[in-house]
Structure formats: C-alpha cells, structure tokens
Structure 1
Amino acid sequence: MPTTIRRAVLSLPAAPPGPENPLPALLSPLKQHHLDAAQRAQLPPAMARQVGYGPLRSVLPVRRRDGYSRERTPTDVEAVVIENDRLRATVLPGLGGRVHSLEHKPTGTQLLYRNPVVQPAEFALNGAWFSGGIEWNIGATGHTPLSMAPLHAARVPAPDGGEMLRLWEWERMRDLPFQVDLWLPDDSDFLYVGVRIRNPHDRPAPVYWWSNIAVPESATSRVLAPADEAWRFGYERSLRRVPVPHWEGADRTYPLNSEHAADFFYEVPDGERRWIASLDADGRGLVQTSTDLLRGRKLFVWGAGRGGRRWQQWLTEPGTPGYAEIQAGLARTQLEHVRLEAEEEFAWLEAYGPLAADPATVHGADWDAARDEVETRLEAALPRADVEQAYAAWRPYADLGPKESLATGSGWGALEVERGRFTLPGTPFDPSTLGEEQAPWLELLRSGSLTPPRQVLPPAPTLVSPYWRDQLETAETGNPHYDRYLAYHLGVARWHAGDRSQAVRSWEQIADGDWPAMRCLAVADQEDGHPERAADRFLSAFDSAREQAREGASWTAAMAALGRETIEALLAVDRADDAATVLEGLRPGIRERGRFRLLRARVLLALGDAVGAREIFDRGFEVDDLREGDEVLTSTWHEIAERLGSGARLPERYEFRMRPE
C-alpha cells in the first residue's frame, strides 16, 4: 500500500488536564535537578558550562496546570495515523504531538509502551503530563509544558514524493519556534522524524531537547547503546560517572536491576554512530538512531522498589505492564542547555524502527560483543549513510508550506510573529489563531496601552520576554485603573527578568486591595527569608480573593492554588489555627480533593491531633497532583507514627519514594 496520512479518533479512558492555574508561577519548578558550583567543578569543562548555562527561573509566561483529577471517562481523542505496508504510527496532535503507538505490521508488534489511558500527573514543568509513546521535550530540564497542549499539524510534501505530517508550535519559555516532521517512505521499516528549532531573535538562546521513548519493560529486556560509561543521576541529587553495564554489583542495562529511579546518560564517544535500543529476551524490540547533532542517549528506570512500582501503577491502570524510557538529546545530560546563536537553527533527523538481533549475543556477558551485534544489525537494516542522505533530502522540504491543516495549536506564535515581523518558512502562525488571551497584548503592541478586563477575574497571563517587558515599561499611563493593572503585569515581568526589587516596588504600589499583587509579595517574602510576613500576606490575599470570588473554573483554580499556598505558608510558621480556618474557608469541592485531605492531616498534626491525622490516612485518599520526587506523604506518615509511638510501615498506596530512605 502507498504511504497514507489520515485523521482518526481514539476512544481512551482519560482524565482532562483541567483549567490553567491563574496564579503566575514565579519560582523554578524543579530544584531536584540543580547542581551547585562544587558539583559542577567535578564535571568536564564543556559539560560544566552547559549545566550552568540558562537555568530556568520559572516556567513563565506559561501557566501551571494542576487542576486535574484521577476520574477517567471514555474520551474521543483526535489522532493522525501515518501508515505504509510496514509500520503504523498514531500521533496525538492535541496532546503535545505525542506518537501514541508504533506498530510493526508484519509481526503485529507494538514497538512502544502504549499507555491504555490518559492520566495527567505532576511531571511536566508546568504540571500535567502523561506517560507512554514518544514525546518531544523542548524548553528546559524536565517534561515540556506542551505535554498536554495542542500543536499545529498539517500535511506537507515529503522528500520521497509522498506526504509527511508536520507538527509545530512556539515554545514560550525560551521564546522559540520548532517543528517536527514525520514520514514513512514506501516499504520502510523506519519512521523518519526531522526536527528543527529556530532562533529568530537578535540574541542567543539556551536550548533543550530530548526525544523521550517509552518502551516495554520486563526482567529480560535490555537497553543497549554504544558506550562504556554513563553519567548516573538519582533523586538523591548527585551526578556521577559510572561504568556500563555493571555498577555496584548489577548489570544496570536491565531496567529492573535497579532498585530506585535513576537516569543513566550514556557517554557516546565522538565519531560513534548515535543509537539506542531496547530488546527483549528474543533479541527483538525498538531501535532509535539519528544524525550526529543529537548526541545524547539516556536510559531512565523506575526501579524495582516499592516507590517505582507504585508510580508505574499511578500513571496507568491495574494490570498494565511497566515501562522504561530510552531517550535522545542535544547534550550529554538533561541538566545541560545548549547555546543557539541569534538567527541560527538546530536541525537533525531521527529514525525509529524494529530491530532483531541474536539473543544469545545481546544478552551475553560480553558487553562489547552485545553492542557490536546491535550496531551490525542496525547497519544492515538502516545504514548510517542512509540516515545522512535522508536528512539532506529532508532539509529543503522543511521550508515547504502546509498543504492541508489537520489541527490547530495556540495563538501565541501568531502574536510573536506579529510583534517581531518574523518570516518562518514552513511553520505559518496564522493571525486567525489569535484569541482572547492574546487580545490585550495585541492591543499593547498596536496602541501602547494594556486594558484591564471588564469583569472581576483572576490574573490573566503575563508576557515576560525582554521585548514584552520593554512594551510594559513604556506603556501609556494616566488612568488609575489601567495603571494598577499595568503595575501588576510589569511586576511579574520584572521578577522574571531577575529585577526583584523593582518587581516588589511595582506590587507594593497596588497591594492595598489587589490580592494578586499581595500574593506575589508573599512569594517574594518567602524567597527573601521572611516567612512570617509571607504568611501574613498570603492570608490577606486569600481573604481578599475569597470576597471577590465568583463561580467558574478560573476562580476555582485560583482559590485552590491560593488556598494551598496559604495553608502551607501558615504551617511553616506554626500557625495551625489560622491554617485550619483557611482550610474551612475553601469550597467543599476543593476541600475534598486529595491534596487538601493531606493538608488537613498536616493541620491536625500541627494542632496535636495525631490520631485524627492517622484516621485520614486510614480512610484513604489520593493526591492527584503529587509531584515527581515529592516525599510529603512519607514525611507526614512518619511524623504521625512518631507521635503515636507506632512503627507501622507506610502503606503501599502512599509509597512514592524515588530514592533510598
């Protein structure tokens, strides 16, 4: 059959990602991936520079998405299917452009771990993320904020005369457009993926990219890559060089041979072909390879311990097999960001397909022989020269315009193109995509004034790039109502730029009666080491917001987020009575969420009622937005047990630890 691209609909049990959190995310989201200066000094110089380059201050201007639940219902999910005689790839444009499945038709083999559900969890930089398939991680260390966001999608001509699927969007944290082109040449066993990241600005930008591939995991599955060493990063926050495959008495290329979650970033020597494979007991599975620019290769394991197994269950449904992740990135490790010069681009080609190798050699004790066997079979199936030729053939097609739109992403790219007058062949950001969220900023761009909304609403998104901050700094003033609105957004932009004293000054000018500004001042106090004043300001913001709150998803999201922040700030300064009052002041639908049941247990514990706190755990709850690496369940349980003089073990349902005790 000729290669085809068609629309499809998948019916999957899914929990919606929920509304965006209107409170600006002022703080960095992933502190566990930070290395201090002493740790960086132990790294090779080039690697140390990239680890220290372009750290993420926050996810701004992106907003957090943490209002999802674990209530799944049958949901129709829009998909695009790319198919030839050999492979069938199913892509979800509305969910980050993820390749949901990749089936090898002659053998009926599913090459990826295909999650049977869509269950948001707190893994993306901005919150909601789900597991499985192939995801395209761009932006900064972690899972992209686009994990559960729609991308633009269209048919475009492919280099072989057929068609390919183009996905594109504007990545807002780094302010960069990118595209992903997927196609299947006739009779090919490999899905080709061309990726391009462009920097249209007059300044360099830090860039991050990792293609994240979920593969089936079993006791006999082995991950192979052309390396004798790896950089291991665990949730105890240390990066160290370790040998491959054996380390500390076990062969770590078998994912279940690790007890706890960890990353293994393979040190692929210069000049070696870039590839990584996951093969089962019969020597069969998936291989990924690329042109040389995509230098990094990684294995992520959940581990065989209680915490890793619990996370696997949490992300899918009972009875579903586990998975590991094999990944490919621009740098050695995911702690690094790579400099992209002004008006330049990064581009490369990836290929994904089945591989069959001799199982005795693949699983033998001779690591060199196992690697050579996989590389020899890969060269026979897809020569390295063919990948280079496919890349060269694709490059002129990367600029071709779409033939037919298949899905629509956000309007933010259209706003940036309007602002910068950028010409971006191949990735049109059509003005028709501009919507309500972009309207105030389009007005600021065209008229020089920022108009507040007519309704009483939680904060609207703030744009924070240097260009938009300049627009805010020079915006028209004179109307007191408009000036207060401008001061709030200018404060957020100044904070993001690192000008914190001026940000605080902006918010202090309007804090009287303006709860979003008061909340921002509370966050600033926390960062500056003033927890008592922060608690006072959080409480003031909460009381004011509760008086203004209306019905609607945006207000519910705002009150849930502000309530949580306020309760945690009050508990931090031993004001449990005030924390209990705030908890009771929330709407019942918020109080019944698992996160707030946990907060109730912590409040009771702070009030001296360890028995009541234990009863909450005994009745059972689920913290829908439990963050990767968060140990609050463990610490709360152990404090309760200590108060009660109990040695009871943490129940399995609450066991999410990703590191040794």
Structure 2
Amino acid sequence: MSDLRLATLAMPTAEVGPDNPLPPLFGGEDTHAVADATEADDEMRQNIAYGRLPSVMPYLLQDGYHRIRQPAEHRVAVLENEVLRATFLLDVGGRLWSLIHKPTGRELLFRNPVFQPANLALRNAWVAGGVEWNIGTIGHSPTTCSPLHAARVQRPDGTPVLRMYEFERMRRIVFQIDAYLPRGSHVLLVHVRIVNPNDHEVPVYWWSNIAVPEAPDVRVIAPADSAWHFSYERVVRRVPIPTSEGSDRTYTTRARAAADYFFDIAPTQRRWIAALDGAGEGLVQASTQRLSGRKLFLWGQHPGGKRWQEWLSEPGQGYLEIQAGLARTQLEHLPLPARTRWSWIEAYGLVTADPGATHGSDWSQARAAVEAGLDSLITRERLDAELAAAATWADDPPVETLSLGSGWGALERRHRAAAGDDSLVLAATPFPDDTLGPEQEPWITLLASGQMPAAASGAPGTAPVSYETDAAWEPYLKAAEGWLARLHEGVLHAAQGDLEAAEKAWSRSIEDTPNAWAWRNLGALAAHRGQMPDAVRYYLQAHRVAPDLLPLAQELLDVLVRADLPSLALTTVEGLHADHRADGRVRILEARAALNAGDVDRCRALIDEGIEVATIREGENSLRELWHDCQQRRTGTGGPDSVAGLPRQRPALPEIYDFTLHPETSQPQDHGRNIR
C-alpha cells in the first residue's frame, strides 16, 4: 500500500496575515556575518564571502501576524504506506509537519501543537516544528510561510509522488521536492532538485531543518569527531565532538546557551544525523553525498532560550534541530553553474541502535551503532540507486494538480518568452497562466503595453502590491511613464546597489505625483545613510499621505526615536488609531520615547501593563534594554551605591521580557530597530 491524499489539519492558529507593502530596501544587521574565520580553510572562507544578499527583495515582509490563536483548518497532503504516515503543510512552504511510525504510533518529529508565527525568517514570519525546506540565501527561506505548487506524480512502478515546487525570486531558480513512500518502505524518501535556468552562475543555499523533541536522555549523533562552532561572537572555530570544554555537546539539555554545531564529516563518510532517546531509538536523516553538511542547533537552558521555545509553541514543548545542507556550514553559498541541475535523495525514518553503545563513553562505538541501524533501514547503495532511478521520472509532468503556489513562475516564464527564452518551460514544474494573480497584474500590463497601470496598482495613498528587482525589468520601467514607474525604477536601482539612481528616481516620482511610497523610500534611504533630519522630514510626509498604514507608523516612530525627537514621537503616537496604539511595536517605541523625554512614569506604566511585541526578532534585545534602562532611571539601580560607592546588584529581568539567546550578552547594545 502506498497512498497520497489531501486532507485538513486543525490546530490553534495565529494567521500569518497580510504582507507588509513597504519594500525591505535595507536588510539591517546581518546576524550571520562572520567576524573571524581564521580557523576555517580556504574553501570555507571563500564560500562564506560568496553570494551574500543585502536584502530579501523582491519579496515583501510577512509581519502582519499576532499572537491570538483561533481554531483553524490547514490544507495538508498525506503520504502513507504500511510503516509511515507523513503529513505536509501545503500553504507553509510544504513543511513536513508530522512523520508517524505506525507500528509503534511514535511521532518522529517535533509536531508543534500550535501554529504561531514569529520573527525568525528572511521575510519575518516563521513557525517551529517538522521539517522545513530552506533555499535562497542564509536564513529561513522566503517561501517558508507561503504556499508551494503541489501536484501528484506517478513513478513507473505506480508509487504516488507528492511534488512541491516554486520559482525562487531572489536567485531566479526553480526548486522541486518529490516525496514518496514506496510499498513497505521504512523510510520516507525525498528527492530534491534545484534548477538554474539562467545563463550565469547562481549562488545557492539549501538546508533541510528537522525539529525533534528535546529531552535529557536525547543524544544527537553524526559521523564526525569535530564540528565547526559559530558563536554569538561571530567566530567560526573548530571544536572536538562529543566533548569540548568539559561538556558533552551532543546532549542538548546540558548546554546553557543557544549554539550551532556544524559536524565536520569526512568527504568519503556516509551522510547522516540522528537524535536518539535513552532506549537508542529516534529519527535518523540520511542522504546521498551532495547534501554534505550536518548541523545541531539548540536553544540552551538559560531563561531566554526557554522563553523562545515557549514563544514558538507552548510551555513544556522543548525541541532541538538536526539539519542537513549543501555546504559544510550555513554561513556559506555554493556556486551552481549556468543551466545546471543539482539533485539528491533524503531519507527519514525510525532508527534503533544499542542504547549501551549510543549513550556510552566511546564515541566511535556510538557512531558505529547508529550507522548499523541506518544500514538496516536503507543502505548507502540503495539511496544511490534511488537517486539514479529518480532521473528516469523526475522530469515527468504532474498527473494531477493538488494545490497552487504563487504566480511568479508564470510571470517569469512569460517575461523570458518575450525575449525568446524558453528556459522556464519545464514539464516537471509547470507554471501555467491560471496561477497569475493581482500581484503579477501590473507587470503583465507593463510587458503588454509598456506602461505601469497606476490606477490598478494604487493611488498615491495606496501601496503598490508587488515589486520586481531583476535588472531585466529595467528597460521596461525606464520606457514607462508616470510616478509609479519611477517608484519601481528606484526600488530596482536600490536592489542593484545604485542608491544615487534610486534617490533620483524617487524624487522624480514625487515631482510627477506626490506619493507616500517614494517619500517613505527616501526616508529609509536617508536613515540608512545616517541623515536623520532628512529621514524625519520624508517619513512625516509619507505618514501624512498614508496615516492608516501601521508598518509606516512603526517606521516613522523608530526614526523619530533614533533622531532623538521623543516629544514628536509621543505626539505622533497620540495621533494614531487606538488599535495601532495597542500594537506591541508601537508600545515599545512609545515607552522608549517616554523614557528619552524624561517621562519615566509613562514608560514604567507601559512596561507594567505588559508590552508584547509579536514580531520581536531573534537576537533582538530591545525589551530587555528598555526594562533595564527604565529600572535604572526609576530607582538608580545599576549606578554606584550612594554610600559605599559599590555597584548595586542588577534586578532580575522578568521572564516575559527575556529573549536573550546568549547569557553572556547581558549588557544593552542599542535601543532602535533597524529600518527595513
């Protein structure tokens, strides 16, 4: 028996919400920037420096969510055979949400009991749990909280295949995920292919991030004796595995701080990673050799790490991640040559190994025991054979459409076709015209008529619905007339790094028709350059034209705080709608402005009422800093003792404000939020 069907899955859900219409012109702080890679070899250092992107454009941010959960039905695809049942969330990046071993009833993944977006991904929204497919650039994928195209494919032996795919807009490449469960198979097989249809090399990034339950007796095992550790100090260094600095790093509940460990696996060694409980059982992930990297991520046992896990799920729902990627670390991109395809096979299943060996002091015996258990599930030769067999059917067209993704692949196909390029006419991953929608409409009109449809895309006070940042669109935009074409031209120039040309285009857009969006972009550019008086002036103009857009109000308040205009920030807050004033990001900026203005009581009242910022960013310490600064201003705590001249003990930070990833980073760093 091998079955593929559609179903729904109910769970408490906070909806992802609408996209933020303001283009993310500047990426802000790069949390993956490497300060010191001297211990790395030449190849790793080269890959670390290669392929980085300044922002996620042309994507818009997904920050319209909240933390109010209501029962909701999610569309899923279910693959099932006699041994395993796999459930995929079709509208959430095709995430493998659940993998159940039917003979034992055991859930092999961390299946989050709730659907709660949080600010950890490239586009902001991200959810914890299951297996996430990451492509594009360093970080959680731009498609992680968006629908993928999904279809049914039939293997020659009759086995149904769930095919999920999409056109990735930053790199302009196509990715294809083919999941299947052959009759009697003890592993879920996933064939992944990345297609570069372009006439130039493209930097690529892929990591399959696998969440599994965390417990004191769970040990993560991979075939390596050392790992590359990337710390909060942004230093890449090699450490021994399993034990370094007196602690066994493979038991995650023994670690205090969040950490990344990239296992340094020998080139000829089979690729796998497993998380085993005290009985020697748990999930194993293995692959063919191209997917060479393996990683352990843990949140740590300090209050901030525990707070993050509760924030992403519910109390008592601890998890860790075992991950697999193309490069040795997640700090790297690899060059995918022009008109080239890369493929590999991944396998997921329940492995059983001798617990005495897997939890013993002999690391080599632990590794050997897991590898023996893996071989009993699926051998290296069988995985290689599956990859070879996939080449015979991976180009087959779907036999049934199950779900639709975005219309961007269809637009790109039409755009290329206009230049006589059929490189995106792919039978395995079709992008038909019926997937085109409102986001693509302005660009379809531009292709057909040479003009941007200003009336359809929005008045000066209504935001455009989408952007394009590939240089191939520049001639069309230059030839088009009107304020909207100049606005888009400026965004394209900014994405290409030509900020002077962007500034000129936005100024011309305003000269043609004053509009909030060009003023906002000029304000963001001025703030990026540190020209805060200009930033304030432009943002105030934008806010006057579009006073009801919450993301614009948030950015304006941030600029006013950064420009040291707290009184104007407070006046602006008081002019907002009540629901906007209740927004957590607005409240934290109001509290910071009040503190900067000397109104400690107003700041304290907001803090005591509780400030919940749904979009608090991973690594962001603004709540902690605000609380400590308010405490110090209110009580003098943190300053010298008035009698003895000794430092007073810093009061304990309330748990609701502790999102610190590393206990060592206890001192405040900054108060602002980076302008997008």
Normalization by structure 2: what TM-score? Answer: 0.93
Aligned partner of 2:442 in structure 1 is 440
Residue equivalent to 1:245: 242
* Aligned counterparts of 2:198 and 2:346: Cα–Cα separation in 1: 26
Indicate whether 1:628 and 2:618 are aligned: yes
Equivalent-residue separation in structure 2 for 1:121 and 1:236 (angstroms): 24
Match of 1:369 among 347, 365, 370: 365
Counterpart code for 1:3: S
Q: Contact (CA 8 Å) 1:348, 1:391: kept in 2 or not?
A: yes
SS in 2 for 1:11: strand
Deviation of the 1:40 alpha carbon: 4.1
Query: What is the rounded CA distance, in whole Å, between the counterparts of 1:133 and 1:432 in structure 2?
Result: 31
Alignment of 1:177-216 (within 5 A): 177-216=174-213
- What is aligned with 2:218? 221
Which position in structure 2 is the counterpart of 1:342?
338
TM-score, scaled to structure 1:
0.95
> Compared with structure 1, are the counterparts of its residues 300 and 470 closer, same or farther at alpha carbon in structure 2 (3 Å cutoff)?
farther
Residue of structure 1 equivalent to 2:475: 470
SS of alignment partner, residue 230 of structure 2: strand
Matches within 5 A, 1:151-550: 151-158=148-155, 160-319=157-316, 321-420=317-416, 421=422, 422-454=424-456, 455-456=458-459, 457-473=462-478, 475-477=479-481, 483-511=482-510, 513-546=514-547, 549=548
Q: Which moved more, 1:279-288 or 1:535-544?
A: 535-544
- In the alignment, the residues of structure 2 paired with residue 96 and residue 30 of structure 1 have an alpha-carbon distance, to the nearest angstrom, of 25
* 1:652–1:166 CA distance, 2 compared to 1 (3 A): same
How far apart are the structure 1 equivalents of 2:569 and 2:451?
Answer: 40
| 3-state SS of paired residue (2:347) | strand
The answer to whether the Cα contact below 8 Å between 1:137 and 1:144 also exists between their aligned partners in 2 is yes
| Partner-residue secondary structure (3-state), 2:385 | helix
Instruction: Return the alpha-carbon distance in structure 2 between the equivalents of residues 236 and 542 of structure 1.
Output: 38
Q: Structure 1 counterpart of 2:396, which letter?
A: L
1:175-207 CA distance string (max 9 Å, x none) = 111110000011011000000111111111111
Question: Which whole-Å CA distance do the structure 2 matches of 1:30 and 1:567 have between them?
Answer: 19
Does the 8 Å contact 1:262/1:300 carry over to 2?
Answer: yes
- Aligned twin of 2:652: 649
Aligned-partner Cα distance in 2 for 1:539–1:233: 41
Structure 1 residue 536: deviation in Å? 2.3
Aligned match of 2:641: none
1:415 is matched by which residue type in structure 2? L
> Which amino acid is the alignment partner of residue 379 of structure 1?
D
Residue 79 of structure 1, CA deviation: 0.8
Aligned pair 1:579/2:569, yes or no?
yes
Aligned-partner Cα distance in 2 for 1:76–1:404: 23
The equivalences for 1:108-147 within 5 A come to 108-147=105-144
Local SS of the residue matching 2:510: coil
The answer to whether the Cα contact below 8 Å between 1:235 and 1:629 also exists between their aligned partners in 2 is no
Contact 1:22–1:458, Cα closer than 8 Å, also in 2: yes
Corresponding letter in the other structure for 1:488:
L
The offset of 1:471, in angstroms, is 2.7
TM-superposed deviation, 1:416:
0.6
Alignment deviations for residues 320-352 of structure 1 (CA, whole Å, 9 cap, x no partner): x20000000000111111111111111111000
Contact 2:220 2:275 in 1 (8 A): yes
Residue identity matched to 1:437: E
8 Å CA contact 1:159–1:394 kept in 2: the answer is: no
Query: Judging changes above 3 Å, is the alpha-carbon distance between structure 1 residues 610 and 248 closer, same or farther for their aligned structure 2 residues?
Result: farther
Query: Which residue matches 1:554?
Result: none
1:549-587 CA distance string (max 9 Å, x none): 5xxxxxxxxx21111111111111210011112212222
Q: Aligned partners of 2:136 and 2:20: how far apart in 1? A: 20
Structure 1 position 609 matched with structure 2 position 612: no
- Deviations along 1:437-479, one digit per CA (max 9) or x if unpaired, are 1111112122222221345311331101121233323x233xx
Task: Return closer, same or farther for 1:113/1:30 CA change in 2, 3 Å cut-off.
Answer: farther
Contact 1:226 1:268 in 2 (8 A): yes
Name the CA distance, whole Å, in 1 between partners of 2:233 and 2:627.
Answer: 20
- The CA deviation string for residues 2-33 of structure 1, in whole angstroms up to 9 with x for no partner, is 10011111111101101000000001255111
Report the CA distance between 1:131 and its aligned residue. Answer: 0.5
Aligned AA (2:321): E
Query: Residue 608 of structure 2 aligns with which residue?
Result: 618
Write the distance in 2 (CA, Å) between the matches of 1:59 and 1:29.
Answer: 11
1:171 CA drift (Å): 1.0
Deviation at 1:159, TM superposition (A): 5.0
Which residue of structure 2 aligns with residue 480 of structure 1? none
- RMSD of aligned Cα (Å): 1.3
Counterpart contact for 1:29–1:125, Cα < 8 Å:
no
Q: Which residue of 2 aligns with 1:555?
A: none
**CA 1:146/1:30 → structure 2, altered by over 3 Å: closer, same or farther?**
farther
Tell me how far apart the structure 1 counterparts of residues 259 and 540 of structure 2 sit (CA, whole Å): 39
Q: Where does the alignment leave 5 or more consecutive residues of structure 1 unmatched?
A: 478-482, 550-558
The CA distance in 2 between the partners of 1:109 and 1:470, in whole Å, is: 57
Q: For residue 42 of structure 1, report the CA deviation from its aligned partner.
A: 4.5
Question: Higher mean Cα deviation, 515-524 or 382-391?
Answer: 515-524
**SS where residue 509 of structure 2 aligns?**
coil
Q: Paired residue for 2:645?
A: none
- Note the C-alpha offset of 1:543: 2.1
Distance 2:236 2:631 in 1: 33
What is the CA-CA distance between 1:423 and the residue it aligns to?
2.1
- Alignment gaps of 5+ in structure 2: 417-421, 638-649, 667-676
